[in-house]
Structures are given as structure tokens and as C-alpha cells.
Amino acid sequence: MPTVAASLPSFLRTLYPFASRFVSLSDGTRMHYVDEGQGNMVLFLHDIPLWSFYFRNLVQDLRGQFRCLAPDYRGFGLSSKPDGLNYSLRTVTDDVLIFLQKLNVGKFNLVLHGWGAVPGMAVATRWPERIRRIVLLNANCFMNYRMPLSHSFFRGGGWGKMTVNLFNLPVRQAAFGAAVGSRARAGYRYPYRSWHSRTPTRLFFENLPRNPKKGTGLWLSEVVEKMGILCQKKSIAFWGTKDSVFPEKILDSWKEYLEELKIHRFPYGGRYVLEDDYGTIFPLLRRFLADGVELKLPL
């Protein structure tokens, strides 16, 4: 796959020091990803509207022991943002499946953040024999939660265009909701500097499933129903309990399907728990991926 030096500003290249690679999807859209290190593969799937930048520290710290593969979904991050798509969860998932097929990926570990759990679980239920272990970071693929009122504005016509396209509010909330400095906040916002670059985010929110018996909602329900085949997979959750979007009770849904799930709660962490508690999480996550030894956090 082609590798290029992405024309990133120097501050971002310092924080995100990876070679930029691209794979062409069926319509010619260029999907950006990083592929660093060697060894057992770890596939990182980001939340929306974030991008692979969220995993920058994990990739740098794990690439000496693992092969780290972190794509940006079409419409997000450094990938192309073509017009005419709905940017639904199903579209995102289809692109991830094509991406993995084009790279001829074999067995791998999953690290899933936020809505990245949807393509992650779709991949895992399609190819369960390829999944080694699963890591959840405030991740959700269930419909039995209540969207915060602030997020409901993102999915409505004129309100959506104002809050997303004009003010870039979802990305700004993410950047300022994480415990990071000004350069990292600028890094989160970098791919979304124009009205056009923010449209996929607005369309994503507009197309979030509302009815589990219709359209994308029915498709997502079918993905969840298949998750029972993953019940014996080694899995671990690092959960910031101050998350106002994906509350702690979502863990109950995960435990219904992942019987081996080990849960570590972080009372001072939020949705971007990697930013809030990275120093504690990293050694536990690395050890889990390396040998699956049961881990315990100090009280």
C-alpha cells in the first residue's frame, strides 16, 4: 500500500510521528491508516468524530512488541471525505471490512473506543476465529442508552449544520473534554478545519439508528445478537465513569455477551479515558495483550 509523508504541521508530526499509508476503497476513496511495528497485530478502531490520533500514545508504546494497525474511517481523520454518502455506522463498518480484506489481515487483537465498537463487533462476529483478545475503552454498540440532549442537536437539520458544520461542536467537545494540553486539542481538531470536512460528522449523527427494528437499527441489532459467539474471548474494559454519553450501565450489556470480561473503572476518567488515565492503563493493557494474565487495579 502507498506510504507518504502526510503534510502535517510540525506540532502534529511531533505528537503523531507515523508514516501515513492509504488504501483505495471500491470507489477510489483513499482511506488513511498507520501500520507500525511487528508481532501480534492490534487493530485500533476509533470513536466518531475522533480519529487514529486518539491512539497515538498506545501505538508509540506498543509498536516495539506488536504490529499496530489504526485506520481513519472514510470521512474522518486524514481519510478522504467524499460527498454523497450517509456516513452511517453500517457504511463505516463496510469500509473497515474492505480495509481488512485489502490488507489480508489474519489474527488480531481489538482495541475499541466509543462507536468504534460497532465495526469492531461486526468484524469479530464475522471472523471470530481471527480475534485474539478484546479491549474496550468506553465503547458502545448497543441501542439501550439515552443520548444526551446536547447530542440530539447534532442530528437535526438546521441545528446540526449550526452546531457541527459551523461551530464544530462535537470535535471541540472531544478535544476539550479530554485531559490534554493545547497542542493535543489542536491535533484532535486538525482534520476538521472546514465546513466540508465536518459534514461527515453531521451525517453520522443524523443517521445514528433510532429504531432497532428498521434500517441500520435492525442491522445493528443483528450484529449484537451474534455476539454470543465471542463469549469465551479474553476481554477487558477500561471505563471512565464520568462519561456522560456512554454511562457505566452499558457495561451490563457487555457482560451479557463477553463472559470473560474484566472491568476496571476509573472514577476520575471520562469518555476519553486513555487521555485521563494513560499512565495507569497502559501497563495493564500491554500486559493483557501480551499474556492475558488477570490484572487488578489497586483500590
pLDDT digits (tens, 9 = 90+) for 28-37: 899 999 999 9
**Is the pLDDT score of 119 beyond 90?**
yes
The secondary element (H helix, E strand) that includes residue 44 is strand 41-45
CB 109 within 8 A of CB 40: yes
pLDDT digits (tens, 9 = 90+) for 38-86: 999 999 999 999 999 999 999 999 999 999 999 999 999 999 999 988 8
**pLDDT at 293 (0 to 100):** 38
> Helices in the chain by DSSP H: which ranges?
10-15, 56-62, 89-102, 117-126, 149-152, 157-160, 169-177, 182-189, 195-206, 215-225, 250-257, 273-291
Closest by CA to 272, choosing from 126, 155, 114, is 114
Average confidence (pLDDT) over 279-299: 75
Cell of 14: 511531533
**pLDDT at 136 (0 to 100):** 98
Task: Report the percentage of the chain scoring pLDDT > 90.
Answer: 70
| Out of 37-41, 137-141, 208-212, 238-242, least confident range | 208-212
DSSP 161: I
**Is the pLDDT score of 211 beyond 90?**
no
pLDDT-derived band of residue 297, with 50, 70 and 90 as boundaries? very low
230: how many CB neighbours lie within 10 A of its CB? 19
pLDDT digits (tens, 9 = 90+) for 178-189: 778 889 999 999
**Is the pLDDT score of 269 beyond 60?**
yes
Domain 3-147+227-291 top-level CATH class? alpha beta
Average confidence (pLDDT) over 88-114: 96
pLDDT-derived band of residue 156, with 50, 70 and 90 as boundaries? low
**pLDDT at 26 (0 to 100):** 82
> How many distinct helices (H) and strands (E) make up the chain?
12, 9
Average confidence (pLDDT) over 230-241: 96
Q: Quick one: angle between helices 215-225 and 117-126, nearest 10? A: 50
- Strand order from edge to edge, sheet including 20-24: 3-4, 20-24, 30-36, 67-71, 41-45, 108-113, 131-137, 234-240, 261-266
Cell of 299: 483500590
Q: How far apart are CA 263 and CA 285, in angstroms?
A: 12
Average pLDDT, the chain: 89
**Is the pLDDT score of 122 beyond 80?**
yes
**pLDDT at 261 (0 to 100):** 97
What are the residue boundaries of the structural domains of the chain, listed by start? 3-147+227-291
Q: Which residues pair with 236 in a beta bridge?
A: 135, 262
- Give 42's Cβ-side CA count (13 Å radius): 29
**pLDDT at 46 (0 to 100):** 98
**Is the pLDDT score of 201 beyond 60?**
yes
**pLDDT at 16 (0 to 100):** 97
| Residue 112 CA: distances (Å) to CA of 7, 39, 134, 239 | 27, 19, 8, 12
